Amino acid sequence: MKIITATDYQSMSRKAAQIIASQLVLKENSVLGLATGSTPIGIYEQLAAWTKQGDLCFRNAVSVNLDEYCGLPADHPESYRSFMEKNLFSSIDLNPANAHLPNGNAADPNEEARRYDGLVQELGGVDLQLLGLGHNGHIGFNEPGEAFVMDTHVIELSDKTRQANARFFGGDIAAVPSKAITMGIRTIMNANKILLVVSGEEKMDILRRALEGPVTPHVPASILQLHKDLTVVCHPGYGREQ
């Protein structure tokens, strides 16, 4: 595990963007696992800027997002598809046909979850998976629980997660969907490399528990301790020596 402590949000975003860019330079047809949430927005701005300058090219890349809400139309401003269009896809040269998210409106969400795992396998797996960290230690939408759920699945969102995400829905927790489709723990852990980005003093305690506490489904991100190639870029950090 490598932990990089950044001086501020901008520096965190730039360092993480450099890691993603180097992945693309080394393998232009990389399968990139992408994430939503407020944390990666600065990374996406940086990647978009480098693409605009001609320093980065996504033309041969493929993306697979971690998760999607159930029951929001794809063009709803808070669907993760809309988030990705707005914050990244509209500003880079990724082929839209190669930008994948689970379909949160599939008639059978469980079948859609199975299809998504099949898709990731068909693509040859994820080369680099970007992850944020939920306030309760979730990754993707893998919520704390009694067991790790291995494959992509439909999840009932916890009150804490819906509360945390209510800010995107005008502060109205009732407007936050109660279910989502998320990559499972095995799907995430199968990625060749994982890049975890965490920003904010209020997340440093859960980050410390994830990286140094027991590996437990009560802190889903703690499983990342077992990954062979994990890089954490965080700000402000929690005092661990690098």
The catalytic residue positions are 67, 136, 138, 143
Does residue number 33 form part of the binding site for ligand GLP (CB under 6 A)? Answer: no
- Cα separation, 174 vs 142, in Å, equals 20
Helix, strand, or coil (residue 131): strand
DSSP 6-64: -SSHHHHHHHHHHHHHHHHHH-TT-EEEE--SSTTHHHHHHHHHHHHHTS---TT-EEE
Stretch near ligand GLP under the rule CB under 6 A, chosen from 37-45, 102-110, 169-177, 215-223: 37-45
Among 12, 64, 66, 232, binds ligand GLP (CB under 6 A): 66
Among 33, 37, 42, 104, binds ligand GLP (CB under 6 A): 37
- Cα separation, 226 vs 242, in Å, equals 18
Bridge pairing between strands 31-34 and 62-65? parallel
DSSP 185-223: HHHHHTSSEEEEEEESGGGHHHHHHHHHS--BTTBGGGG
Does residue number 36 form part of the binding site for ligand GLP (CB under 6 A)? Answer: yes
C-alpha distance from residue 2 to each of 89, 156, 189, 242 (Å): 29, 32, 16, 7
Q: How far is the CB of 139 from ligand GLP (least distance, A)?
A: 7
Does residue number 222 form part of the binding site for ligand GLP (CB under 6 A)? Answer: no
Q: How far is the CB of 66 from ligand GLP (least distance, A)?
A: 5
Q: How far is the CB of 59 from ligand GLP (least distance, A)?
A: 26
Among 6, 13, 67, 181, binds ligand GLP (CB under 6 A): 67
- Cα separation, 178 vs 161, in Å, equals 10
Q: What is the pattern of x (binds ligand GLP, CB under 6 A) and - over residues 153-172? A: --------x---x-------
- Cα separation, 133 vs 6, in Å, equals 16
Q: How far is the CB of 168 from ligand GLP (least distance, A)?
A: 8
Does residue number 140 form part of the binding site for ligand GLP (CB under 6 A)? Answer: yes
Stretch near ligand GLP under the rule CB under 6 A, chosen from 100-108, 109-117, 126-134, 184-192: 126-134
Does residue number 134 form part of the binding site for ligand GLP (CB under 6 A)? Answer: yes
Residues engaged in binding ligand GLP (CB under 6 A): 35-39, 66-67, 132-134, 140-141, 161, 165
